Amino acid sequence: MTENRFQSFTERYAKGDMPWDSGITPPEIVDILAERPPGAALDLGCGTGAVMRDLLLAGWRADGVDFVARALELAGEKLADFPPDSFRLIRGDVTRLDRLQELRPPYDLIIDIGCGHSIDKTDNAAYAQGIARRLREGGDFMLYASHPRPESTVGWTPTQVERLFGSTLEIYWEQRGDDVAIGAPSSWYRWRKPF
């Protein structure tokens, strides 16, 4: 995790400048919640907890990781009415999941909606390995990533995603589109850990 990225997100949360936080769970996640029976889920870069709220409403146990304290405070407010043992909010680095003792793996579902594609490229392998180790066999990893743009360090190409996750997980489906908020192509991926 780079200090500049941490500082930028901390400042933006403090100012309430969070255009990525729509408060709406993406339909790709809603669909998988309708398809899979409830289990244990991990939301990487959970932000203010919108997806975690819907996981809990659907009967899942949910853990969320974010590196910004203010994001987790807002998530805690959003989830305050749920039983305390049904979720955990963990402040930490998603590229160092082995250091987060509060996690409760294995997970049936791991979700990344625009988190991993913005980490420092030197941490990509550790990030992918951490996910593979904590995902249950037969479990799903839902990934949203924008494609790279010349003016930004954020983004993964589909080839980069395949290289990162393809050695330990199997692609179940991929859906390409455009992220109108940032003006870039993007992809949703559903990966599955083989038995």
100 Cβ contact partners less than 8 Å away, ≥ 6 residues apart: 65, 90, 92
Model confidence at 23: pLDDT above 90? no
Question: 76: exposed, middle or buried (C-beta count within 10 Å: 0-12, 13-18, 19+)?
Answer: middle
Q: What is the model's pLDDT at position 152?
A: 84
89 DSSP β-pair partners: 64
Number of other residues whose CB lies within 10 A of the CB of residue 52: 28
Q: What is the model's pLDDT at position 36?
A: 96
Give the separation between CA 16 and CA 81, rounded to whole angstroms: 23
Here the tokens at position 37 are: 């029976």
- Model-level pTM greater than 0.85? yes
Q: Which domains does the chain have, with CATH numbers?
A: 3-192 (3.40.50.150)
Give the separation between CA 32 and CA 152, rounded to whole angstroms: 30
Q: What is the model's pLDDT at position 17?
A: 67
Residue the block writes with tokens 């991929």: 174
Model confidence at 55: pLDDT above 80? yes
